[in-house]
Amino acid sequence: MMEVNKTQVTEFVLSGLTDLPGLQVPLFLVFLVIYLTTMVGNLGLIFLIWKDPHLHTPMYLLLGSLAFADACSSSSVTPKMLINFLSKYHMISLVECITQFYIFASSANTECFLLAVMAYDRYVALCNPLLYPVVMSNVYCFQLLGVSYIIGFLHPMMHVGLLFRLTFCKSNVIQYFYCEILQLFKISCTDPGVNMLLIFIFSVLVQFFTFMTIIVSYTHVFFVILKVKLEKGRSKAFSTCSAHLLSVSLFYGTLFFMYVRPGSDLIENQDKMYSVFYTIIIPLLNPFIYSLRNKEVLGALRRTINK
């Protein structure tokens, strides 16, 4: 019997969104505009919150932190994809691949906890308005932000550590536009069963805990809103919560699909479409979802422009 020479792969090829040459430049231009708009929207929102003293409240500190997580999430994926649109060789080293996964996963995990904290903030503000300045002080808000970022950045370290137990010798082609961890499992020579099990368990735990926090918080909020007799007060309360609920729906809808149901039988192109929405479109939409109907943010923008 002849021994098969298995050389461990240290560089990968990202297949990208499409291999059609005629679409590379148009897609580059589209995603370049999306990325620039994403960065302007998120970094601009952070600048407004930092610059305007009227926005130095827990709600806007949380919103600024969410904008930072979105900027990191988009920056971990989009620049490399833009380079690959114009490059013949879509190479990425193993270290770059794992780094890309870690930054993206950390941002996504942090965003889960930030959305939960934002829901709790709205619960306190609408259900206990008199106690809000005491319960949700800026000091406590910073503590919640710190916990969100610490857990968000520690959790993916476990999966990164487990990635180093895998060897890659089947193929060096990742059939994706970024280093998505489930795609790495597909080209692993080592059985990734342990990795997949832990991904599933911890994804369920993180998403279930944060999602249930959001559901419980907004259940209480809706009961309080329904008791409001004045139509103006009720519509204002709904307006305050609607932006956050829209962002939560978009985020968790794709998140549950991607990681809680890794065994889905959807075709590959459809899978990529969901990933594009999750990694690139949601960070683009969030700053506009939270800003366009927010009078305080629009007021801060007008004051900054006037200055």
The CATH number assigned to the domain holding 130 equals: 1.20.1070.10
Q: What value does the mean pLDDT of the chain take?
A: 85
> Is 5 part of any domain?
no
- Establish if 170 belongs to a structural domain: yes
Residue bearing the bigger pLDDT, 248 or 292: 248
The better pLDDT of the pair 63, 264 is held by: 63
Pick the residue with more confidence: 230 or 291?
291
Query: pLDDT exceeding 90 applies to what percent of the chain?
Result: 41
- pLDDT higher than threshold 80 for residue 120: yes
Residue 25 lies in a domain: yes
Domain count, the chain: 1
Which residues lie closer than 8 Å to 233 by C-beta, 6 or more apart?
Answer: none
The confidence band for 259, taking pLDDT boundaries of 50, 70 and 90, is low
The pLDDT tens digits of the residues spanning 48-96 come to: 999 888 888 998 999 999 999 999 999 999 999 999 998 888 889 989 9
Comparing 36-45, 92-101, 111-120, 236-245, which segment has the lowest mean pLDDT?
A: 236-245
Instruction: Give yes or no for a contact between 112 and 36, defined as CB atoms under 8 angstroms apart.
Output: no
Query: Residue 4: inside a domain, yes or no?
Result: no
Domain that holds residue 161: 11-306
Structural domain includes residue 2:
no
What strands, in cross-sheet order, belong to the sheet with 91-93? 91-93, 11-14, 173-174
Identify the pLDDT of residue 1.
36
pLDDT at 147: 95
User: Residue 3: inside a domain, yes or no?
Assistant: no
**End-to-end Cα, the chain, rounded Å:** 79
Q: Sign of the C-alpha dihedral, residues 261, 75, 59, 45? A: negative
pLDDT-derived band at 2 (thresholds 50, 70, 90) equals very low
In a domain, 255, yes or no: yes
Q: Whole-structure pTM over 0.85, yes or no?
A: yes
Average pLDDT over residues 34-44: 95
Looking at residues 269-283, what average pLDDT do you find? Answer: 81
1 lies in some domain: no
- For residue 293, give every residue at least 6 positions away whose Cβ sits within 8 Å of its Cβ, in sequence order, or none: 239, 242, 243
Q: Give pLDDT tens digits for 158-213.
A: 999 999 888 887 778 888 889 988 888 888 888 888 999 998 888 888 988 999 99
- Once rounded to an integer, what is the mean pLDDT over residues 208-224? 89
Comparing 8-12, 82-86, 120-124, the range with the smallest average pLDDT is 8-12
